[in-house]
Amino acid sequence: MSAAILPLCCHCGKTPRRGLHDGFRLRGKLICHGCESLLSQAEQNSLDYLEFMGTIRSLVGRSGRFWRENVW
């Protein structure tokens, strides 16, 4: 069996259990389901939330409007 190129979550750096279909993509980068649910439960301005915002900003650049309109 040849080694498949598995996607890595750009937030936690892990390979999602169900590969490409586990999570969502943002600008071609994968955010795994685990991180997605972590974010959905994170309180606004909590550490988890702020860390996630840092990841997303690094993907979409300075346009903060992008993730408001496209992620949620």
| Residue nearest Zn ion, Cβ-based | 9
Q: Shortest approach of Zn ion to residue 15 CB, angstroms?
A: 9
Residues contacting residue 28 through CB under 8 Å, at least 6 positions apart = none
Least distance between Zn ion and beta carbon 45 (Å) = 20
Say how far apart CA 2 and CA 4 lie, in whole Å: 6
* Closer residue to Zn ion (CB): 2 or 9: 9
Q: At what angle do helices 33-41 and 47-60 cross, to 10 degrees?
A: 130
Nearer to Zn ion, 1 or 5 (CB): 5
- For the chain, the farthest-separated pair of C-alpha atoms sits apart, in whole angstroms, at 45
**Closer CB to Zn ion, 12 or 71, in the complex:** 12
Which residues here bind Zn ion, judged by CB under 5 A?
9, 11-12, 32, 35
